[in-house]
Chains A and B, each alone.
Chain A
Amino acid sequence: MKKIVKPLFGISIIFILMAFQSGDVLCNAKELKEKAKLYLEPYKYDSSELTRIMYKKKETIKEVEVPLFIGEKYRIVFELEALPKQVEVQIYNKDKDSKGRKLLFSSKDQGEKKEFLFEVSKTRHVYVDYVVPPTEDGSYSGCAVFMVGYK
């Protein structure tokens, strides 16, 4: 019995390590996107983005550039259920390296909500920033999803 247990134990560890190779964060993308889709109606599905987030000792920002067509109406739905700690979502008109960019939306106003939406038109780009708070107590990771719909 021992002859089988030891190699099996070793192989299991190999698989666990492989899963976390390159800092992968495991999330159920399908489930998260299906939940986000529920809030998209009556807008038509356009695209979606899953962002893997690892909490670090210092605050970090993960930015997603979203090109839009000027004059079209859009809804962006966020699904943050798979994040173990609150992350602030900010939406800007310019990227994080630009001076004088304007904050269009902040999830601070949404309280503890895990799902919320933002509607926008008359712009060619928005920049979604996930502001990941610093953490000292252990290692955390999770996923955030947003989905874009047009009318």
Chain B
Amino acid sequence: MTVNFFAISCVILTMALVSCNGNPDEQKNREELDGLDSTTTVSATTALTEENEVAYNLPSALQIAYVFKKSGAGFVPELLNNRSNSSKYNTSNYKRATNFGIYSADLAYCLFNKKYQESKEYLKSCKDIGSYLGLNQAFESDNMAQRFDKNIANEDSVVKIVSSVQLKADMMFEQNKQKHITVIAFAGAWTESMYIATQIYAKDKNKKVLVSLLEQLLLSETIIKALKSYKTSEPEIIDLIISIEKINAEFNAIASVKSAMEKDEEIDLNSISITDSELTTITKSVKTLRSKMID
């Protein structure tokens, strides 16, 4: 008995000592982020210390689709990821998360184009992959499916229902300490939205679609920073960062973007000039990343 209690006390002491040092991965992440911070200019704020941290709050797939729809882009069903693929993504957290994001973007694209039957089907795909990520409750609470059916022709109501699923999923990821999954899922949603936008622009050459596409491209920098803060959470994250960094570098290489950045000015996307070649490079990189995600 004395030996048992002694053993338990030793375990307690060891854990207490380990907890003082924190998680080595998180520590490493923090050190790397601090390293990045040290290269920037001196802060205007008085209270900066190495303990000051930065987090990133990424938008939803719904909002991207909402803004994209305002550009007047049409609905091209061939661009969506086939729903029958959903069963093949239950192989890793990374695969589940990216494709959860991809189907969320497809759902949002259908929704804002008033394709309600398709929306219902993509909601089902999100639910299927969501169940692999432990999100069953988010899709099953409050009679979500019945409410969706009942309001299927009412865009406002259906958007509210899907937003409420999004909020519940966010809360569950938070509760399950899977914040990194939301970041990976958003990277998937962003890639799918970028894929749809670049393909539609290549076909229609609509200037408003281009502006909306470029607006989405501006998110790439924040996605990279958010992914970097979780880079040890899943083994595939490093590759994902490299792919998005490539797209970001291609965007930053556009002459007018480069010039605005050098002057530390807000980029006016309405007056930006971009060559076909610059856009083709970005379109190809987005397509390659999306293929890697869905295959």
**Segment of B82-90, B162-170, B278-286 engaged in the interface with chain A:** B162-170
Q: Which residues of A contact B (CB under 8 A)?
A: 3, 6-7, 10-11, 13-14, 17-18, 20-23, 29-30, 33, 37, 44-51, 56, 58-70, 72, 95-101, 124-125, 128-129, 131, 146, 148, 150
B42 CB contacts on chain A under 8 angstroms? 97, 99
Name the residue on B nearest A62 (C-beta): B53
Size band of the interface chain B makes with A: 35 or more
Is B44 in contact with A49, judged by CB distance below 8 angstroms? no
Quick one: which of B23, B43, B57, B164 contacts A22, CB cutoff 8 A?
Answer: B23
A-B contact pairs, 25 of them (CB 8 A): A21-B23, A29-B175, A30-B171, A44-B160, A45-B164, A47-B57, A47-B58, A47-B60, A47-B170, A48-B170, A49-B55, A56-B51, A60-B47, A61-B47, A62-B55, A65-B54, A65-B55, A65-B222, A66-B57, A67-B219, A96-B48, A96-B54, A97-B41, A100-B44, A131-B47
Least CB distance from A145 to B in Å reads 10
Q: Mark B160-194, 1 if CB is under 8 A from A, else 0.
A: 10011011001100110000000000000000000
**Main SS of chain A's interface residues?**
mixed
B32 within 8 A of A: no
Least CB distance from A10 to B in Å reads 3
Decide yes or no: A14 and B8 within 8 Å by CB, A46-B62, A64-B57 being known contacts: yes
B75 within 8 A of A: no
Is A95 in contact with B54, judged by CB distance below 8 angstroms? yes
Quick one: which of A3, A23, A29, A100 contacts B171, CB cutoff 8 A?
Answer: A29
Other A-B contacts than A67-B58, A95-B54, 8 sampled, CB-CB below 8 A, are A14-B15, A17-B12, A20-B19, A21-B18, A44-B159, A62-B55, A98-B41, A128-B57
A13 CB contacts on chain B under 8 angstroms? 12
Is A45 in contact with B44, judged by CB distance below 8 angstroms? no
A66 CB contacts on chain B under 8 angstroms? 57
Q: A18, A47, A99: which has the most chain B beta carbons within 10 Å?
A: A47
A20 CB contacts on chain B under 8 angstroms? 19
Is A67 in contact with B222, judged by CB distance below 8 angstroms? yes
Report the separation of the CA atoms of residues A45 and B138 in the bound assembly, to the nearest whole angstrom: 15
Least CB distance from B167 to A in Å reads 5
Is B5 in contact with A69, judged by CB distance below 8 angstroms? no
Is B225 in contact with A96, judged by CB distance below 8 angstroms? no
Q: Which residues of B contact A (CB under 8 A)?
A: 1, 4-5, 8-9, 11-12, 15-16, 18-19, 22-23, 26, 37, 40-45, 47-49, 51-60, 62-63, 66-67, 159-160, 163-164, 166-167, 170-171, 174-175, 215, 218-219, 222, 225, 266
Report the separation of the CA atoms of residues A69 and B222 in the bound assembly, to the nearest whole angstrom: 13
Quick one: which of B19, B55, B166, B174 contacts A63, CB cutoff 8 A?
Answer: B55
Quick one: which of B19, B37, B167 contacts A21, CB cutoff 8 A?
Answer: B19
B57 CB contacts on chain A under 8 angstroms? 47-49, 64-67, 128, 146, 148
Is A6 in contact with B1, judged by CB distance below 8 angstroms? yes
Among all A-B residue pairs, the 4 with the closest Cβ atoms? A10-B8, A59-B47, A97-B40, A45-B163
Quick one: which of A37, A48, A65, A129 contacts B225, CB cutoff 8 A?
Answer: A65
Name the residue on A nearest B179 (C-beta): A50
Name the residue on A nearest B25 (C-beta): A22
B171 CB contacts on chain A under 8 angstroms? 29-30, 33
B44 CB contacts on chain A under 8 angstroms? 96, 98-101
Least CB distance from A32 to B in Å reads 9
A46 CB contacts on chain B under 8 angstroms? 59-60, 62-63, 163
B43 CB contacts on chain A under 8 angstroms? 96-98
A148 CB contacts on chain B under 8 angstroms? 57, 59
Is A29 in contact with B9, judged by CB distance below 8 angstroms? no
Quick one: which of A22, A50, A64 contacts B54, CB cutoff 8 A?
Answer: A64
A48 CB contacts on chain B under 8 angstroms? 57, 167, 170
Is A30 in contact with B52, judged by CB distance below 8 angstroms? no
A17 CB contacts on chain B under 8 angstroms? 12, 15-16, 19
Name the residue on A nearest B63 (C-beta): A46
